[in-house]
Amino acid sequence: MKEKSNIISLVNPNLVTQIGDSLGSGIPYMPLPLAYLAACLINKYNLNVIDAFGEDPFKVWQKENFIAQGITISEVVKRINPSSRCIIIYYSSVMASIIIDEMMNSLKAEYPQIPIIIIENSQAVIGCSLKHIIDKLFACGADYVVFGECEERVPNIIDIIIKSDLNKLDLIDGIAYKAQNGMLKILPQKKNIANLDRLPFPAWEYFALDKYWKLRYAHGPMEGEYLAIMTSRGCPYSCNFCVIPSTNQKKWRARSYKNVVDELEYMVNKFNVKEFHWEDVNPTVNEERIIEICKLIIDRELKIKWKLASGSKIETMRLETLEWMKKAGCNYISFSPESGSKHVLKLMNKPFDHDYALDMVRHMNRIGIKSQACFVLGYPGEEENDLKQTEIYIKKLTKAGVDEIALFIMTPIPGTETFGQISGYKNFSELTFSPAWRDDFEILSTFRMRLYKKFLLWKIIYHPFKVFRQMINLLRRRFESKAEMNIYRALRLKYMVARGTNKC
């Protein structure tokens, strides 16, 4: 076996919370794209993985109007191996922009000879399309920017860098770089990875999993030690407020049912985890695949819990599908009506069947699958009557048994159809789901808080035991819903800040 002599540094940035906004920012996602990339590089290179958040999530420091969790930028700079052939930075979320930009500047100042590669978070709604902020990235010190999936593009770029064969860069689609004449060259994204089963499983051994677990909160409701998994990529729908159509070329691709269950079994055996948070935004597009996944989980006697944490198109499932999912360990499904108004849904280009969703929620309630309904407020063109229809529909969902709601105020993420329609933010980190810079924010924020209070009241009336159970879950720190966990998250962060915050 050939000795691995080249060192590659990979950086996961800090988790960022906008001060005063525990609803729309500060939600930790495990760095799936970086773990996949590490798995693709492990056999050829020595990896130096720096998880700025995960290495010390209990350390907090302030940058302008934001709180960062994890080690400081200066500590990240010190942990870079000076012999690295390149530094790969994961652009985890648009909200982390203020930290990532400074991190790039600092790394380039300290290691001007080491190329910096920026990779996109192409599978999450908190990510952004890097081609829409390309000038800023290069101004901050990037040498290469990768659009879409990184697992094939980045190894090709590294190979070209090491061989000093820069003329071959034009053979790679979906990247941007500065040519030798100083001109910015953008090669459009032409393809996605067709066969996702070819990819190795994420290399979680490079990340401080025990510290993620000790944090006691995650993106999905955390009952115990967990791992993130992605069973599909992209989405076949084209909602105007969502970045996924841009970063995935409006295509959905899925791993085979066997490959998914192979990973579940592998992670159970390797890390002794029994809980999995599915982070694909639409894993149930192929209903037959989901049922086959469930059957194989049962056949292999995997005693696990799993949650659709990032959402699913509820109309792609039937009652029978829910039954199979429950038998196989699924105990949480997030779905997104977005609005109770058909007028707003048309503006969003969002198909949704309100009545069908009510039937599905009733059945989830009967068989013991917790449910979350997500809504977007303040979409351009939305009127007071539209908000009223959303309120009416949420009351119907509450009576049907929905366990929690999430109310996000629309923010124009780079790469969405709404990008550029609303202005007023000073930097991209302000593009949280509580955009205080919007002229109508106070109106929307007041409506949101009132609706949350009404939801709680309706829940006490229709399902009082659920409210009591959520209080017990909060005290036990074993969460069955994001709402319970988010209360804990806000209190935990407040305690960490009070204990001591450094300004950077």
Percent helix, strand, coil in the chain, to 5, is 40, 20, 40
Residue 118: phi and psi, rounded to 5, are -105, 130
| pLDDT tens-digit map of 35-68 | 999 999 999 999 999 999 999 999 999 999 999 9
d(CA 477, CA 279): 22
Query: Do the domain assignments include residue 180?
Result: yes
d(CA 22, CA 176): 35
When divided into structural domains, the chain yields a total of: 2
Residue 182's CATH number: 3.40.50.2300
Query: Do the domain assignments include residue 195?
Result: no
CA distances from 359 to 66, 103, 154, 309, 363 (A): 41, 48, 45, 20, 6
Query: Do the domain assignments include residue 175?
Result: yes
Query: Do the domain assignments include residue 200?
Result: no
Q: What is the 3-state secondary structure (H, E, C) of 68-125?
A: EECCCHHHHHHHCCCCEEEEEEEECCHHHHHHHHHHHHHHHHHCCCCCEEEEECCCCC
pLDDT < 50 positions in the chain: 1
Query: Do the domain assignments include residue 1?
Result: no
* Residues 168, 276 share a domain: no
Residue that finishes a domain, picked among 138, 166, 187: 187
Residue that finishes a domain, picked among 146, 164, 187: 187
Query: Do the domain assignments include residue 201?
Result: no
Q: Three-state SS for 292?
A: helix
DSSP 94: G
* Residues 225, 93 share a domain: no
Query: Do the domain assignments include residue 254?
Result: yes
* Residues 44, 175 share a domain: yes
* Residues 283, 138 share a domain: no
Residue that finishes a domain, picked among 187, 208, 229: 187
* Residues 338, 429 share a domain: yes
* Residues 354, 290 share a domain: yes
Q: How many residues does the chain have?
A: 504
| pLDDT tens-digit map of 324-379 | 999 999 999 999 999 999 999 999 999 999 999 999 999 999 999 999 999 999 99
* Identity of the amino acid at 452: Y
Residue 402's CATH number: 3.80.30.20
* Residues 432, 472 share a domain: yes
The parent domain of residue 101 ranges over: 7-187
**Pairing relation of β-strands 144-146 and 330-338?**
unpaired
